[in-house]
Structure 1
């Protein structure tokens, strides 16, 4: 492997996707999926044995950019779901800033930290 690119995150993702497609291919007995699986395996080998470091690095960086965007969106949704049981999330009527208020406090006056506007909500 001296002088070759090797395995990176994109190659690992393609191999994982290929394994999942192989399982579905075995269950569905679809020849088109078999060809897709073979193509993905060949793509992984071509990436691993490539000597074009700069192009493989650019491809991996693009994959990581999209992966991070997806992971951040997933983490924010997961965090919002966890907070939903403990807090109410209200938006300020004037500036639309999100404000987190603990549940079970009754009717309270809320002051927006951004614009200092006060409004009354049920918690």
Structure 2
């Protein structure tokens, strides 16, 4: 039986990160459909059909391009999330100011009193309390 499945999948695309994402979203939609929202059930079925279509497809270059597109979008979201986490974690030790001239964000340590801050981008100097 295992050999038959291997022969069937020979030359087909298989599973990737985009398919995993589609299946997770489909499961979430399926769970939401239990609360009486029929549209989520239809959406879950459509996502599952599309995920299986991609998995059994023999057009490897097109499926790979779709996966690359998804990975780029995922990296943008992950990068944004990591920056937000880092900024929130650093709020205890650092204060963020914007340069009044160019708008560049400048990070300075907290609890130093009044200090002169020089923007590295435009050279503007301004005084702020940390």
TM > 0.5 between the two? yes
Deviation at 1:30, TM superposition (A): 3.2
1:52-91 pair list within 5 angstroms: 52-91=59-98
Residue aligning to 1:3: 11
Task: Tell me how far apart the structure 1 counterparts of residues 24 and 86 of structure 2 sit (CA, whole Å).
Answer: 26
The one of 15, 27, 32 aligned to 1:24:
32
Q: 1:16-58 CA deviation, whole Å, 9 max, x = no partner?
A: 00111111112x1333322222221111111001000011111
Q: For residue 79 of structure 2, give the secondary structure of its aligned residue in structure 1.
A: helix
Q: Distance in 2 between matches of 1:94 and 1:33?
A: 49
Aligned pair count reads 122
Q: Superposed, which structure 2 residues align to 1:33-44 within 5 Å? A: 33-44=40-51
> What is the CA–CA distance in structure 2 between the aligned matches of 1:5 and 1:17, rounded to whole Å?
20
Distance 1:32 1:96, change over 3 A: closer
The two structures have a TM-score, normalised by structure 1, of 0.89
**What residue ranges of structure 2 are gaps of 5+ in the alignment?**
1-8
2:31 aligns to what SS in structure 1?
Answer: helix
Compute the RMSD of aligned alpha carbons: 1.5
Provide the TM-score with structure 2 as the length reference: 0.85
